Each structure stands twice: as structure tokens, then as C-alpha cells.
Amino acid sequence: MTAIIKYNAGNIQSVLFALERLGAEAVWTDDPEVLRRADRVIFPGVGEASSAMQYLRERGLDEVIRSLQQPVLGICLGLQLFCRHSEEQDTDCLGIFDLAVRRFVSPAANADHPLKVPHMGWNTIHDLHGPLFKGLAEGEFMYFVHSFYAESSPARTATTDYGGSFSAGLQRDNFYALQFHPEKSGEAGQRILRNFLTI
């Protein structure tokens, strides 16, 4: 059984539907015992870092997440909250990855190619390694929606370029994270979720 962590973040239904299409049994929960007993855990999210961390701390879910031993997958905001600190509302996060989360900075309006923020839409992923990307080719397109990014790191498992290189995927021990939304990324995204379900 796969547990999806329930907290004040959006985009839960699309993750549930993606897992259903793969035939996976999934439950949406904030019950610590259910999370600890699950075969694997998904930490999705579309939202804001400081209010999400406040919700997790008030319910003790921050310590629960850090203690999990099974495969855990953070998606979008989930990846950012796995990091040490976010520039979004100057937020201390879970610290699973010793990384800072930075805000995309758009150049002045008169720049030849101003960077649109948020980074929204399809972009390619590169330098792929690790079990999530088994069977995927370099340059696969994934769907992104975010205004903040994790700086590049030796823990990265995928890279994307948008005004510079950033970590599109991370892994440390049993913790995996993706900045893009595999549940919205077509067949390639489904392949990533299928790979996670077999770890």
C-alpha cells in the first residue's frame, strides 16, 4: 500500500488518479501509524513552504517524515520541503537534503529574454541516474510549475535548465524527490511512478 501524506497542499487528486491508473492501492492520510506501516510514501504538493511546514510541525508529521525507512517520494513542493531551508517566507524545512531552495529571479523587463516566473510548462530533464529513471531517455519532457528551485547538488539525479541549471531530481538513501510533476507528465511521468512503485 502507498500512503500519500495529507497536509495543506493541493494536487492530491491527480496523484491519486495516476496511482489508480497504475493499479496501485493508495490512501491519503496524516495518521503517523499508517504512514509508518505503508510500503512506500508519497509527499506531493502545490502550495507555500511556510504554511506547509507549520501544518507538519503542529501535527508532528515533520518528525514522522524524517523517521520513515521505506521509499519516500517528494514531488514539487515536497522536494523543496525535503531541503534544509527555503527562501519562500524564509522557511526552515525538513533538512533531509542539506540544500537551499532559491527563488527564480526574473531579469529586468527590457532584457532580451526575460525569465518568466513561475517556471511553468514542459521542459527537459538530463543527467539522469537512479532507479526512478530506469528506461527513460535523456531529454525527456516533464511538466513543471514552480517559482523556487533546489540548487544543484551531488545528490541530484536529474537536472533541468531554466535561467541556469537546477536539481530536477534528488536522492538520499530511501528519500527520492522530483521538482516536476510526474503525474502530469504523460507516459514518461507514468514510467517514473511505476519505477517508484517497484523500489
- DSSP for the chain, please give it: -EEEE-SS-S-HHHHHHHHHHTT--EEEE--HHHHHHSSEEEE---S-HHHHHHHHHHTTHHHHHHH--S-EEEETHHHHHHEEEETGGGEE---SEEEEEEE--PPPTTSSSPPPSSEEEEEE-BS--SGGGTTPPTT-EEEEEESEEEPP-TTEEEEEESSSEEEEEEEETTEEEESS-GGGSHHHHHHHHHHHHT-
- Mean pLDDT estimate for the chain: 94
Say which of 25, 33, 76, 119 is annotated catalytic.
Answer: 76
Q: All 3 cell numbers of residue 57? A: 510541525
Q: Does residue 76 carry a catalytic annotation?
A: yes
pLDDT (tens digit per residue) in 117-131 = 999 999 999 999 999
The pLDDT of residue 181 = 97
Output the pLDDT for position 115: 84
User: In whole angstroms, what is the distance from residue 9 CA to residue 62 CA?
Assistant: 15
pLDDT higher than 90, residue 111: no
Instruction: Find the catalytic residue in 88, 140, 146, 181.
Output: 181
Q: pLDDT tens across 4-40, in order? A: 999 877 678 899 999 999 999 999 999 999 999 999 9
CA atoms of 68 and 33, how far apart (whole Å): 11
| pLDDT band at residue 110 under the 50/70/90 scheme | very low
Known catalytic membership, residue 181 = yes
pTM of the predicted model, to two decimals? Answer: 0.94
Q: Say which residues have a Cβ less than 8 Å from residue 28's Cβ, sequence separation at least 6.
A: 3, 4, 6, 12, 16
% of the chain at pLDDT higher than 70: 95
What average pLDDT does range 96-107 have in this prediction?
Answer: 91
Among 88, 119, 146, 183, the active-site one is: 183
Q: Decide if 87 is catalytic.
A: no
What pLDDT sits at residue 10? 67
Dihedral sign from CA coordinates of 53, 58, 59, 63: positive
33-81 pLDDT, tens digit each: 999 999 999 999 888 999 999 999 999 999 999 999 999 999 999 999 9
CATH architecture assigned to 2-197:
3-Layer(aba) Sandwich (3.40)
Question: Lowest-confidence range among 60-64, 82-86, 112-116, 172-176?
Answer: 112-116
